[in-house]
Amino acid sequence: MAITPPTRAPHPLETTSRADDAVVAGPHRRHAARLAAIAFVAPLVVYLVVFYGYPLVQNVAMSLQRYDRATFVSGGAPFVGLDIYREVIGQPKFWRIVGQTATFTLVSITVQYVVGLALAVFFQHNFRLSATLRAMFLVPWLLPVIVSGTTWQWMMNPDNGALNSLVGLFGVDPIWWLNADHALMSVIIANIWLGIPFNLVILYSGLQNIPTTLYEAAAIDGAGPWRRFWSITVPLLRPVSLITLLLGLVYTLKVVDIIWIMTMGTGTSQTLATWSYAMAFGKGASAVIKYSEASAVGGILLVIALAFGLVYIAVQRKQED
C-alpha cells in the first residue's frame, strides 16, 4: 500500500476504536495507529521472547537432540525426535519417581493447607500476643532453606538426633529417618513445616475480607461455630483457597533445595525435580551429566504444572459464571 503522511498525529488511544477507524478514517490512519500499537507492545514481547520463550524453546529443542558433554561443547548433537522421552518414561524407576512426586506434592499441600487454615481461623480472634505468635509462625519462611534443611537433617540424625530423643519419650524405637525407605516421609515433614507460613498468611488475609456482619447474623440465627465455619468461612474463602492450593502445588512440584540438602534425592525422596536437577548438572549419585534427559524430565514437569494451571482457570471461570 502507498504510504502518505498522516493528516494529523496519531494517538495511541485510537487503537481502542479500530472498528470506527476502518470505516471513518481510511487506511492511512489505521496503519499509523497499528505501528504505534506495535511499538508499545514490542518491549513486552521482546522481554517475553528473550526470557521466557527462548529458554522454553531451547529446553524443548535440547530434549529432542541427544546431547552429551562433547556435543554440548562442539555442537552437532543428533536430532532423535521423541526417543529421549521414550527412554526416560521407559525406565523402570520413572513411574516410581512420578508416584513419589505425587505423594510428596499432595501430602505436603494437603497438610500445609489444613494446618494453615486451622491456624488462620485460630488467629482470626485477636487476643493478647496473637500478633507475636503469628509472627513466630513465619520463621520457617524467613530462614534460608540451607539453614533449615541442614537443621532438619541434623535433628533427624538416626544415632543421636533430637527427633529420635523426642519420639523415645513416647516409647518409640529410634527411627532411621533419612534411609531409603523413610526418606520420603522425612522430607515431607520438613517441607510441610516450610510451607505452613505461606498458607497461614494467604488464608489469614482471605479471612480478613469476610465481613464480620455475616458471622454476627448467623450467630443471631442460632448457628454454632462449626456451622458458621462450614457455611460462611469455607464458601467465601474458596477463591483464596483455590489460588493457595494452586501456588502451593506449583511450588511443591518444583522443590529441589530442601530435599537435596537433606538426602540428595536418595531412596524414596527422589522426585521429578531432584532427578532432573541431578541429571542436568551431574550431581548426586550420578556424576554423569545428561542434558537431554534432564530437559525431557523438566519438560514433563512443566506440562504437569501447566495442566493444573488450566484446571485452575477452568474452575475460576465456572465460579464467575
Where does this chain bind other proteins (CB under 8 A)? 41, 45, 48-49, 53-54, 56-58, 61, 68-70, 72-76, 153, 157-159, 176, 178-181, 263-264, 266-267, 281-289, 313, 316-317, 320
CB 267 within 8 A of CB 181: yes
Of 270, 269, 251, 282, nearest in space to 91 by CA: 270
Q: To the nearest whole angstrom, how small is the minimum distance from the Cβ of residue 11 to other proteins?
A: 20
The C-alpha atoms of residue 87 and residue 296 are separated, in whole angstroms, by 10
| CB 293 to other proteins: min, Å | 13
Measured from the Cβ of residue 4, the count of other Cβ atoms closer than 10 Å reads 9
* CA separation for the pair 319, 321 (Å, rounded): 6
For residue 96, the minimal CB distance to other proteins (Å) is: 13
- The contacts of residue 151 (CB under 8 Å, 6+ apart) are none
Q: Which is nearer to other proteins, 39 or 313 (CB)?
A: 313
**Minimum distance from residue 274 beta carbon to other proteins (Å):** 11
Q: Taking the complex as a whole, how short is the minimal distance between the CB of residue 231 and other proteins, in angstroms?
A: 27
Residue 112 or 274 with smaller CB distance to other proteins: 274
Using DSSP, state whether 79 is helix, strand or coil. Answer: strand
Closest Cα partner for 125 from 235, 207, 209, 213?
A: 207
User: How far is it, in rounded angstroms, from Cα 63 to Cα 89?
Assistant: 13
Q: Provide the β-strand partners of residue 65.
A: 79
Place of cell 513411574: 95
Nearer to other proteins, 199 or 269 (CB): 269
CB closer to other proteins, 57 vs 234: 57
- Which residue number, 76 or 222, has a Cβ lying nearer to other proteins? 76
Report in angstroms how near the CB of residue 71 gets to other proteins at its nearest.
Answer: 9
CA distance 311 to 303: 12
Q: Which three cell numbers stand for residue 212?
A: 464480620
Measured from the CB atom, is 217 or 288 closer to other proteins?
288
User: Minimum Å distance from CB 58 to other proteins?
Assistant: 5
| Dihedral sign of CA atoms 221, 224, 230, 232 in order | positive
Which uninterrupted H or E stretch holds 134?
helix 130-137
- Residue (240 or 261) nearer to other proteins, CB: 261
